[in-house]
């Protein structure tokens, strides 16, 4: 479930952001996929892992937002 959500989020980002952050996004998707597969076996550990993944996702989203702001300013 987390993997699917992140995949949709990352796919919606502009290509320039994807190009720059692809290694980070790939790592986050891999971690999310592992989380989805094993979350029921150790809920406490995987809840912490989800929080760590989401911290990194927020950084990627912030960079995406900053790129869009810079691009909007350039176009005005």
What digits encode the pLDDT tens for the residues 20-35?
999 999 999 999 999 9
Mean of the pLDDT values across residues 3-20? 93
> Whole-model pTM?
0.85
Is it the case that residue 46 has pLDDT exceeding 90? no
Q: Specify the long-range contacts of residues 6-12, CB closer than 8 Å, at least 24 apart.
A: 6/32, 6/53, 6/57, 9/57, 9/61, 10/60
Tokens of 69: 């702001």
Contact 11, 61 (CB under 8 A): no
Q: How far apart are CA 13 and CA 20, in angstroms?
A: 11
Confidence (pLDDT) at 21: 93
Mean pLDDT of the residues in the chain: 92
Mean of the pLDDT values across residues 35-51? 89
Helices (H) and strands (E) in the chain, counts: 3, 0
């Amino acid at each position: 479930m987390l993997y699917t959500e992140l995949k949709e989020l990352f796919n919606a980002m502009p290509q320039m952001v994807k190009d720059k952050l692809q290694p980070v996004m790939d790592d986050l998707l891999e971690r999310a996929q592992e989380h989805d597969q094993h979350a029921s076996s150790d809920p406490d550990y995987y809840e912490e892992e989800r929080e760590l993944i989401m911290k990194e996702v927020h950084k990627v989203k912030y960079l995406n937002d900053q790129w869009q702001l810079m691009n909007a300013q350039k176009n005005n």
